[in-house]
Amino acid sequence: MFSSVLEENTVMTEKARSALPAKLWSWHEHVCACQASGQTMVAYAKAHRLSVQAFYRAKARLLRYGAGQLSPLGSLFQRVEVVSAPPRLSSCRVHLPNGVVVELGVEDAGLGRVLQAAGALS
């Protein structure tokens, strides 16, 4: 019915899903759709020709079944944010021919170039 509605950052536990009576599934989808729409329960119920009292009772029953964090029953995905990992640094110590020692923190990608340049000094 409202399977395309996704509620961010909410999950109904598998235990709660399995305990949910079949007759509450459609109410569950209505509650999730209402939350996603941003409408009040009264406005949503009127727009979808639902009894306001029955809508509130169904939501209360869903909460008793452990569906306190409501999401569509078919929704198995969660929103994620991809962040890039900081570059790894390798510690590098170069002993120059004149006796000077240089210590560097070098990204792994540039380590080969540093070693190649240090090798060219001898």
Distance between CA 24 and CA 22 in Å, rounded? 5
Is the pLDDT higher at 51 or at 11? 51
97 and 46, same domain (yes or no): no
The total number of structural domains in the chain stands at: 2
Model confidence over 8-33: pLDDT tens digits?
334 455 555 666 777 888 888 898 88
The residue type at 26: S
Listed as own residue / partner, the contacts of 103-111 with beta carbons closer than 8 Å and 24 or more positions apart are none
Residue 84 lies inside a defined structural domain of this protein: no
Asked whether the beta carbons of 31 and 10 are under 8 A apart, the reply is no
- Domain of residue 102 covers 89-120
| Nearest partner of 22 among 89, 73, 97, judged by Cα | 73
59 and 103, same domain (yes or no): no
Residue 71 lies inside a defined structural domain of this protein: yes
pLDDT of 32 = 85
Distance between CA 93 and CA 91 in Å, rounded? 7
8 and 67, same domain (yes or no): yes
Residue 34 has pLDDT above 70, yes or no: yes
2 and 62, same domain (yes or no): yes
pLDDT of 77 = 59
Q: How far is C-alpha 46 from the chain's CA centre?
A: 32
62 and 114, same domain (yes or no): no
4 and 64, same domain (yes or no): yes
Question: Has this prediction a pTM greater than 0.85?
Answer: no
Residue 42: phi, psi to the nearest 5? Answer: -65, -50
Model confidence over 76-110: pLDDT tens digits?
556 778 788 777 777 878 888 888 888 888 787 77
